Amino acid sequence: MKRRDFLKSVSGIAAGAMVPAPAIWSAAKADARSETLLIVSESGPNNLDIHGIGTNVPGYEVSWNCYDRLISHEMKAGPGGVPYYDRDKFKPELAEDMNVGDMSATFKLKKKATFHDGTPITAKDVKWSLDRAVSVGGFPTFQMAAGSLTKPEQFVVVDDHTVRVDFIKKDRLTIPDLAVIVPCVVNSELVKKNATEKDPWGLDYTKQQTAGSGAYKVTKWTAGTEVVMERNDDWVGGPLPKIKRVIWRMVPQAGNRRALLERGDADVSYDLPNKDFVELKESGKLNIVSTPYSNGIQYIGMNVTIPPFDNPKVRQAVAYALPYQKIMDAVLFGLSKPMFGAAADKPTEVAWPQPHKFNTDIAKAKALLAEAGFPNGFETTISFDLGFAGVNEPLCILVQESLAQVGIKVTINKIPGANWRTELNKKVLPLYTNVFSGWLDYPEYFFIWCYHGKNSIFNTMNYQSKQMDAFIDGAVTAAANGDTAAYDKDVKGFVDLAFADIPRIPLYQPYVNVAMQKNVSGYQYWFHRRLDYRAMVKA
C-alpha cells in the first residue's frame, strides 16, 4: 500500500469514529499498514502504572506490554486450539535463568537488557521495583502478599546482575506470583529523580509515562481517547515483535467499533456486545476467538454490612430472584458458561469456578423476603462499571426488572470506568455487578482475593467469616505441603460455605471475545485477559 493510500484509509477510520483524523493517527508514521496494529475499544487506561492507585483493567494492558518481569509463562494449546498460558510452566523474560531452591529463588539478569532510555538494568533496579510493589499499598501490595511476598528484606542484591528472592514460608503461589503484571521492573533512577517527599515511589510520574524495558513504550497518551505505543527495538525479553506500532483508540459506541472492523479500518476489538460477536462470526468476514476466563466469574455482589443485605435470607432471596437464563440469552447470546442451576444432588468439586444450586424461583424469593421481615420488599441501588456497559447495562436492567417482581425497587448507578475500581474498593456499594478473574488459576487464590476477611481488597462484600478464613488458609498450607486430602477437604469447605452464605452470586463464567481481521494472527490468551502485542502479526 502506498503512503497516500494508507493515509486515505486512516481518514476513513476517523470518520467512522466521528473524530478528526489527526486525533487518531497523528503519532503514526508507519510506511506500511502491516507495521501498525489499530485497536478500538470502549474504554482505555486511567493510569499507565500497574502500581498506581486504582489502575483499571485497560491499564493492565499497557503495563504488560511496556514493562518486563523476571519471568513469564510458557504457552500451550487451550480451548479451541487457542494459544493459552501454561499456569505451571515458566520461562525467563528479564532473567537469563532461574534457580529455585527450598526457601529462595535466584535470578541472573540478561546483561544486554536496558530500559527504554538506554540505561542498563541492574539488580538494584529489580530490588527497588519489588520493594515498591510490596510497599505502595492497595492492590499491588496485596497481589504480592498473595504469593507470600511481603517485605523488602526478601529481595536481595547478590551482584549487579543477580538478585535473590527469599521465601518467608513455603507457598506454591510464590513463583507464579512473580510472573503476573505487578512485579514489573521499573527504571528506578529515572523514577527516583521524579519522586517527591509526598510521593517517594514516583507514582505521579509513572501514571503519565512508562519507565520500563518492555517490548513497547508509550509515546502518546490522551486519556479517554488514544494510546500510541512504539516498539522497543532493543528489547531482549523475547523475539522482537513484528508489530512496530500500536494505536489503541477509545470508541465508546459499539456500532462505530463494529463498523470500523467491518470496513477493515480497524484491526482488533474485544469488547463488542455478544450479539455482534455472534453475527460477525456467522458472517465469516473476521476471525472471532472466544475463550473462557481462567478462574473468573461475573457475579452480583451484596455488601453484607449494609442492611438489609446483612440478612442471609435476603441474600438468598436475591439469588432466587435473579433472571439467570434471560441474562444468558438476551445479554450473552450463549457466549459464556452458566454458573447457576446445578442439580440438587450434585457433589461439590475441588474446582473453581463451579455452578451453585440457585435458579430463578420468584415464589421462593418472595417467601424468603417475608421470613426476613421484608414482605413488601425494599429499595436499593445496583452499580456497574460504565467502561464495560455493553454487558453490564443490559444485565442490570434485567436484574432490575426481575427484582421488582419480588418488591425490591432498584435504581441503576452507572460509574465511569476510570472511577470504578476506586469506588468498588471503598466497599460502600450495597449491590453491584462485577467480573473477577484470579490471575493465578487456583481455587484458593480466587478465595484469598474475594472471600478472605483479612485485608482482602476485592472482598467488596465486606464478608467476614472465621470459618471461611480457616478453610482458605488451610488450603494454602495443604497445597504448599502437598497434602492432597487436606487440600480437597478445605476447597470443598470454602466453596460450600460461599454458596451457603452467598455474599456474592456467580452468574456465569465469561468468555474473552476478540474480533480480528483475517490478516491478523498470533493472538494469545493470558490470565489478565488483555492483548499481548508481542506475539501478534499482520500479513
What is the rounded CA–CA span in Å between residue 23 and residue 4? 18
Closest CA to 220 of 37, 27, 7: 27
What are the distances in angstroms from CA 395 to CA 300, 390, 400, 440? 10, 9, 9, 27
Q: Can you give the C-alpha Rg of the chain in angstroms? A: 24
Report the Cα–Cα distance between both ends of the chain, in Å, rounded: 12
The partner residues of 298 in beta bridges, in order of sequence, read 435, 508
Closest CA to 293 of 508, 85, 506, 511: 511
Each of the 539 residues of the chain gets a pLDDT tens digit; together they read: 333 342 333 333 333 333 333 334 344 444 567 899 999 998 899 999 999 998 999 999 999 999 999 999 999 999 889 999 999 999 999 999 999 999 999 999 999 999 999 999 999 999 999 999 999 999 999 999 999 999 999 999 999 999 999 999 999 999 999 999 999 999 999 999 999 999 999 999 999 999 999 999 999 999 999 999 999 999 999 999 999 999 999 998 999 999 999 999 999 998 788 999 999 999 999 999 999 999 999 999 999 999 999 999 999 999 999 999 999 999 999 999 999 999 999 999 999 999 999 999 999 999 999 999 999 999 999 999 998 888 999 999 999 999 999 999 999 999 998 899 899 999 999 999 999 999 999 999 999 999 999 878 899 999 999 999 999 999 999 999 999 999 999 999 999 999 999 999 999 999 999 999 999 999 999 999 999 999 999 98
Strands 104-109 and 245-250: unpaired
Closest CA to 434 of 423, 442, 444: 423
437 touches 293 (CB < 8 A): yes
87 touches 439 (CB < 8 A): no
List all residues 6 or more positions away from 15 whose beta carbon is below 8 Å from its beta carbon: none
For 59-185, list the strands marked E by DSSP: 71-77, 83-92, 95-100, 104-109, 155-159, 162-166
Preceding omega of 353 cis (within 30 degrees of 0): yes
376 touches 370 (CB < 8 A): no
C-alpha cell at 160: 549487579
- The DSSP string of 270-314 is ----HHHHHHHHHHTSSEEEEEEPTTEEEEEEE-TTSTTTTSHHH
Domains and CATH numbers, the chain: 3-66+214-267+517-538 (3.40.190.10), 86-189 (3.90.76.10), 296-510 (3.10.105.10)
